[in-house]
Copies of this chain bind each other. A is one copy, B any other.
């Protein structure tokens, strides 16, 4: 165990050990292990540890290894109680044990399958399906979704929504989202169907008494709606192969979870909820970020008609970016020389479960990094930009998200999100339109919805005491005797350092820039504090009304940039327990609480910056039946942190190394150079 780093995810052995200690604690009660994950060490212990580690001194004492375990145990009254145990893995002991009253664990796929089965077996559901008079050969597909709070149910027990689709073709990869059925069902904790709804099929329809039978409806041809190659005509053949070779191997080095590349060093983490996390990021030995992670994601749908307000997913809190991470395939998900990282989770009975190839690490050429031609000498100097990509892809029912950190040789970081997959659909009368959705195939409505992400940035800009500075560019006044601006062309920056925990909005019209600075470290040349700036992704914030459950549950959607004091374990801006949450557990509530306590000072403190971004996704038909990626990018760049361009020492580009090939008239020539 001595080679395990405090930031390393739990090893399989540690997972097994945590399960044994937990089972012992429960004296043989039958447990459903939902979570066995690293309880990250307190920052207060990590800072001296990392300091010594980077100075090459023996990094002792090592913070103890601890596991956060969550189990569902059958309670005395037959209830399913969620209980959290903190296990000290160094001392084989239980540090904490607390029932999570009123909280629900993230989606339990075994339970969801049981819900689906129970729903399908229900005689009223069967009768409703009969009444739909589906075409011969159609298979009903039931998709269980976490219930988004709408205030209509008691939230103390789990409630699950079942949405119905049909698969017209025998092929199990046929796109059943293309045929949403008119009914949906609500299922209780005890696997009873408590309600069946008829879905509205036009804008003005509010309550339906019955579903429409299918035998008098036109069913559109699968040709418009299938994406699986086995159900498509032959693909285009015009795309010629494109390969990446690195004859001398990759430029990165991996040692366990420690990654080094082009002056960057960091540690790769992974957990069931956030998926990929990054720790202790440094450039050329200088401390930049203590931790970077996607901290939450909220996908509320904009269709106001009941029961659609129940469609609103916290894809991290409810589903888990780690658990749903794809097993990435060589040559498909990543191109070139690929290093994969595996993740570890646990089975329901507490055994370690390998999640293979959940993160891929590779390099990409990124065009030109910098260039200048001296027009007097005509000498051009050009360097190409190489980036290091750490990518993970998740599938959450119909949707896919591709998350990637891009590291640059110029000390920049870009976080790219690509949304793809299949739109969530609802039925609509043929010929009808609604104001909150797009008809993507006859009878198929793709409702408007938003994707709101929260990128959690735990900075360590030359140390832990950092501040958030908001800078704007403003025209200088004219005709002001105290200000010299005779031609009216002057402009300057105005900046403010945020003193209290708070949320802020973007304003490109003022070039509003958010800088994370260290006021204790002055750049010796510019004379200003060293810093990194956020290059935000300009996005609309949450549209749901402030009083709605959607808004109360996703407080981070109120503002684009939040700054808070660092607190151990405060990782989730919509709260730790998002399943059927009622609101009041998010970042705004935490700030409000600390304001009242008088502990919300954030200037020159250990702070965390959270960036809310995403897209208001009003579907295009071009997003159907599978969506070309929609990219969103957030950046972090040094601003007066170094003494000059950090990529100045990147070697100039040469044909000798890059071996490009000249093309004439569309066919390759001069290939002998390869």
Pair B239/A368 contact, Cβ less than 8 Å: no
Cβ of A545 under 8 Å from chain B:
yes
With beta carbons under 8 angstroms apart, the residue of B224, B336, B525 that contacts A660 is: B336
Task: Count how many chain A residues have C-beta atoms less than 8 Å from C-beta atoms of the other chain.
Answer: 188
Cβ of A44 under 8 Å from chain B:
no
Stretch at the interface among A117-125, A229-237, A274-282: A229-237
Please, how many angstroms separate the alpha-carbon atoms of A659 and B99 in the complex? 51
**B-contacting residues, A503-559, CB 8 Å:** 505-506, 508-511, 523, 525-527, 538-541, 543-545, 547-551
Please, how many angstroms separate the alpha-carbon atoms of A667 and B655 in the complex? 24
Pair B373/A326 contact, Cβ less than 8 Å: yes
Nearest chain B CB to A19's CB is how many angstroms away? 26
Pair B666/A637 contact, Cβ less than 8 Å: no
With beta carbons under 8 angstroms apart, the residue of B511, B618, B643, B653 that contacts A493 is: B618
Scoring A residues 437 to 448 as 1 if CB is less than 8 Å from chain B, else 0, what string do you get?
A: 011111000001
Cβ of A358 under 8 Å from chain B:
no
**B-contacting residues, A629-674, CB 8 Å:** 629, 637-668, 674
Nearest chain B CB to A488's CB is how many angstroms away? 3
Scoring A residues 130 to 142 as 1 if CB is less than 8 Å from chain B, else 0, what string do you get?
A: 0000000000010
Nearest chain B CB to A61's CB is how many angstroms away? 29
Pair B622/A645 contact, Cβ less than 8 Å: yes
**B-contacting residues, A392-431, CB 8 Å:** 393, 395, 397-398, 400, 402, 404, 408-412, 418, 420-422
Pair B489/A333 contact, Cβ less than 8 Å: no
Pair B491/A436 contact, Cβ less than 8 Å: yes
Please, how many angstroms separate the alpha-carbon atoms of A148 and B612 in the complex? 41
- The residues of B that contact A496 with a CB separation of less than 8 Å are none
Q: So how many copies of this chain end up in the complex?
A: 2
Pair A640/B616 contact, Cβ less than 8 Å: no
With beta carbons under 8 angstroms apart, the residue of B254, B408, B660 that contacts A628 is: B408
Nearest chain B CB to A391's CB is how many angstroms away? 8
- The residues of B that contact A326 with a CB separation of less than 8 Å are 373, 380
Pair B506/A508 contact, Cβ less than 8 Å: yes
Complex: chain B residue closest to A647, CB-CB:
B628
Pair A382/B332 contact, Cβ less than 8 Å: yes
Pair B365/A335 contact, Cβ less than 8 Å: yes
Nearest chain B CB to A513's CB is how many angstroms away? 8
Pair B491/A302 contact, Cβ less than 8 Å: yes
- The residues of B that contact A263 with a CB separation of less than 8 Å are 236, 238
Cβ of A241 under 8 Å from chain B:
yes
Pair A235/B650 contact, Cβ less than 8 Å: yes
Please, how many angstroms separate the alpha-carbon atoms of A369 and B141 in the complex? 27
Pair A489/B655 contact, Cβ less than 8 Å: no
Pair A236/B262 contact, Cβ less than 8 Å: yes
Stretch at the interface among A25-33, A184-192, A460-468, A478-486: A478-486
**B-contacting residues, A268-304, CB 8 Å:** 300-304
Please, how many angstroms separate the alpha-carbon atoms of A674 and B330 in the complex? 13
With beta carbons under 8 angstroms apart, the residue of B228, B332, B624, B674 that contacts A245 is: B674
Pair B173/A377 contact, Cβ less than 8 Å: yes
With beta carbons under 8 angstroms apart, the residue of B237, B438, B539, B641 that contacts A622 is: B641
Cβ of A2 under 8 Å from chain B:
no
Cβ of A385 under 8 Å from chain B:
yes
Pair A545/B478 contact, Cβ less than 8 Å: yes
Nearest chain B CB to A228's CB is how many angstroms away? 6
Pair A538/B249 contact, Cβ less than 8 Å: no
- The residues of B that contact A386 with a CB separation of less than 8 Å are 239, 242
With beta carbons under 8 angstroms apart, the residue of B224, B229, B369, B549 that contacts A629 is: B369
Determine the main DSSP class of A at the interface with B: loop
Stretch at the interface among A51-59, A68-76, A77-85, A305-313: A305-313
Nearest chain B CB to A630's CB is how many angstroms away? 9
- The residues of B that contact A654 with a CB separation of less than 8 Å are 331-332
Cβ of A315 under 8 Å from chain B:
no
Contact A645 B626, CB 8 Å, known A227-B372, A301-B489: yes
Nearest chain B CB to A403's CB is how many angstroms away? 12
Pair A247/B239 contact, Cβ less than 8 Å: no
With beta carbons under 8 angstroms apart, the residue of B239, B409, B438 that contacts A650 is: B239
Stretch at the interface among A211-219, A344-352, A469-477: A469-477
Counting chain B CB atoms within 10 Å of each CB, which of A253, A370, A398, A616 scores highest? A370
Pair A651/B338 contact, Cβ less than 8 Å: no
- The residues of B that contact A336 with a CB separation of less than 8 Å are 242, 660-661
**B-contacting residues, A351-389, CB 8 Å:** 361-363, 365, 367-377, 379-382, 384-386
Cβ of A3 under 8 Å from chain B:
no
Contact A250 B622, CB 8 Å, known A374-B172, A395-B375, A658-B332: no
Cβ of A266 under 8 Å from chain B:
no
Pair A393/B371 contact, Cβ less than 8 Å: yes
Please, how many angstroms separate the alpha-carbon atoms of A540 and B472 in the complex? 10
With beta carbons under 8 angstroms apart, the residue of B233, B539, B544 that contacts A489 is: B544
Please, how many angstroms separate the alpha-carbon atoms of A642 and B623 in the complex? 10
Contact A372 B397, CB 8 Å, known A305-B484, A379-B228: no
Q: List 29 A-B contacts (CB under 8 A).
A: A173-B377, A224-B525, A240-B249, A244-B245, A244-B365, A255-B666, A303-B490, A304-B485, A333-B368, A337-B663, A361-B663, A367-B402, A370-B628, A370-B629, A372-B395, A372-B422, A381-B626, A436-B490, A439-B525, A473-B618, A475-B544, A509-B541, A510-B540, A511-B540, A511-B616, A622-B638, A625-B645, A625-B648, A628-B645
For the complex of A and B, the 9 pairs showing the least CB-CB separation, nearest first, are A304-B490, A331-B655, A488-B545, A488-B548, A410-B628, A309-B487, A435-B492, A235-B651, A331-B658
